Amino acid sequence: MSNENLLNETHNPALTSWVNSANQTNTDFPIQNLPFGIFKIANTEQSFRGGVAIGDQIVDLAALSSLSLFEGIAQDAVKACAANELNTFMAMGKEAWSALRLALSNALKEGSPLQEKLNDCLVAQAGVEYALPCNIGDYTDFYTSIHHATSVGLKFRPDNPLLPNYKWVPIGYHGRSSSIDVSGRDFKRPSGQTKPPTATEPSVGPCKRLDYELEVGIFIGKGNDLGDAISIDNAEDHVFGLCMFNDWSARDIQGWEYQPLGPFLSKNFASTVSPWIVTTEALAPYREAWTRVESDPQPLPYLESEKNRAMGSFDIQLQALLETETMREKNEEAVQMSQSNFKDSYWTVAQMVAHHTVNGCNLRAGDMFGSGTQSGPNPDEAGSMLELSNAGADPITLPNGEQRTFLEDGDKVIMKGWCQKDGAARIGFGAVSAVILPAE
Ligand code: MN
């Protein structure tokens, strides 16, 4: 069993598009990617509708749907994408996702007889505004990086960094979906109740330890009925795709409030997703074997399968960058804070889905999981400032001489993700970014 079984003509690295910008070496959106999002022309009264990124353009799926160029399930799928959210399309399941991907691939490839008609459906990405790709009904945040869990555990519980359940249970908590927004929507520094270790009583005020979390967002497509568990081998029939995700965190609020029920107001003031969902199908060339070191507990049967061992992991490079207000004023480029890889995750996407539903919990189309902060095995691969600054003890000096322990007002955090290897087209996720505005 290998990821070869998941590959089809849409992944052929030799495919090129008549959209020239899609053939440039470093584009995130070659014809092999075809990610889905929701957009409209900026500063207009237009309705939001579905789109697919190709090079520096977007195929307007509402316009394409009205041309009735596709047939059968592919036409049903593109019609669903004319709506102002992708939930209906996501609920249609893998056969529909795959049929539309193939139809789009054929229509966008070099020499397609549909070029002239599709050309009228293109919109430049530079002139659009994005919305959330779907209505996110429920949001669950996992904690799948053992490197992050261990280094954060050391800061909150030096005597007991990794709790004994970690290697058995894909740990998670139910977050809040109402405050998830799309890239580019800036937000105010949150206020809340904190109690520094030196204070005798807590006080309320603006967060002083505002952090980012470098995460992968996982979008559920087809749901399951209440009471029906999803088996690990069927898990990916329910996963529409992945995005880049910044799960902002207020560490000082978290440190005071999180026991015994876990994070609350330290996490639900803002979370930001990238505009584009890269489908699980597009990621097929980047599937990797998943392993669990022999000295660790092996997964319980519901979290174990041959398929998960063979291709459960995703080889996705993740990068966090910081652009301070000073850098912006001087036109300096954002600097890299860290880089890590989703394949270092201790638990896979399929294990998260199987675990979430083992009790019969029902997932619905558009639900989102956060992967948890993705930190790699090396200290410079830490996916949060809490780790990079050693909980504020060791300030980070930026190339322009500025220092940071946590985020300051005016800071813009940018996250990018991409997949690259020999024998496959490089595909990317685009970016997720937002600026911290001052507290009220
Ligand atoms: Mn998180």
- Residue-wise pLDDT for 173-216, tens only, equals 999 999 999 999 999 999 999 999 899 999 999 999 999 999 99
Whether 313 and 424 share a structural domain:
yes
Whether 317 and 427 share a structural domain:
yes
Ligand 1 centroid from CA 409, angstroms: 21
Whether 166 and 93 share a structural domain:
no
Q: Which of 111, 131, 151 is the last residue of a domain?
A: 131
Q: Which of 98, 131, 164 is the last residue of a domain?
A: 131
Average pLDDT of the residues in 76-85: 98
User: What's the CATH code of the domain at 204?
Assistant: 3.90.850.10
Residue 354 has φ and ψ, to the nearest 5°, of: -65, -40
Write down the pLDDT at residue 149: 95
Whether 124 and 154 share a structural domain:
no
Residue 4 has pLDDT above 80, yes or no: no
Average pLDDT of the residues in 243-265: 95
Average pLDDT of the residues in 35-43: 98
Average pLDDT of the residues in 153-168: 89
Q: Which of 148, 238, 355, 356 is catalytic?
A: 148
Ligand 1 centroid from CA 371, angstroms: 7
Write down the pLDDT at residue 197: 87
Whether 308 and 427 share a structural domain:
yes
Ligand 1 centroid from CA 217, angstroms: 10
% of the chain with per-residue pLDDT over 90: 95
Whether 248 and 381 share a structural domain:
yes
**What gap in Å lies between CA 151 and CA 145, rounded to an integer?**
10
Ligand 1 centroid from CA 386, angstroms: 13
Ligand 1 centroid from CA 145, angstroms: 11
Write down the pLDDT at residue 157: 81
Average pLDDT of the residues in 8-24: 98
**What gap in Å lies between CA 6 and CA 8, rounded to an integer?**
7
Q: Which of 75, 98, 131 is the last residue of a domain?
A: 131
Whether 79 and 152 share a structural domain:
no
Q: What is the pLDDT of residues 352-394, one digit of tens each?
A: 999 999 999 999 999 999 999 999 999 999 999 999 999 999 9
Whether 126 and 169 share a structural domain:
no
Ligand 1 centroid from CA 373, angstroms: 6
Q: Are 435 and 408 a contacting pair, CB within 8 Å?
A: no
Ligand 1 centroid from CA 175, angstroms: 9
Ligand 1 centroid from CA 424, angstroms: 31
Q: In total, how many domains does the chain have? A: 2
Half-sphere exposure of 141 (CA within 13 A, CB side): 23
Average pLDDT of the residues in 27-49: 98
Average pLDDT of the residues in 117-124: 98
User: Rounded to an integer, what is the distance from CA 64 to the centroid of its chain?
Assistant: 27
Ligand 1 centroid from CA 370, angstroms: 6
Q: What is the pLDDT of residues 395-432, one digit of tens each?
A: 999 999 999 999 999 999 999 999 999 999 999 999 99
Whether 64 and 118 share a structural domain:
yes
User: What's the CATH code of the domain at 66?
Assistant: 2.30.30.230
Ligand 1 centroid from CA 14, angstroms: 38
Write down the pLDDT at residue 385: 97
Q: What is the pLDDT of residues 141-152, one digit of tens each?
A: 999 999 999 998
Ligand 1 centroid from CA 421, angstroms: 28
Rg (CA), the chain: 22
Residue 1 has pLDDT above 70, yes or no: no
Half-sphere exposure of 76 (CA within 13 A, CB side): 12
Q: Which domain holds residue 164?
A: 139-437
Burial class (CB in 10 A: 0-12, 13-18, 19+), 262: middle
Residue 218 has pLDDT above 70, yes or no: yes
Cβ neighbours, 10 Å, residue 382: 26
Mean of all residue pLDDT scores within the chain: 97
Residue 16: pLDDT band (50, 70, 90) is very high
Whether 150 and 127 share a structural domain:
no
Write down the pLDDT at residue 259: 87
* 148 assigned to active site: yes
Whether 257 and 280 share a structural domain:
yes
Whether 126 and 145 share a structural domain:
no
Hey, is 88 helix, strand or coil?
helix
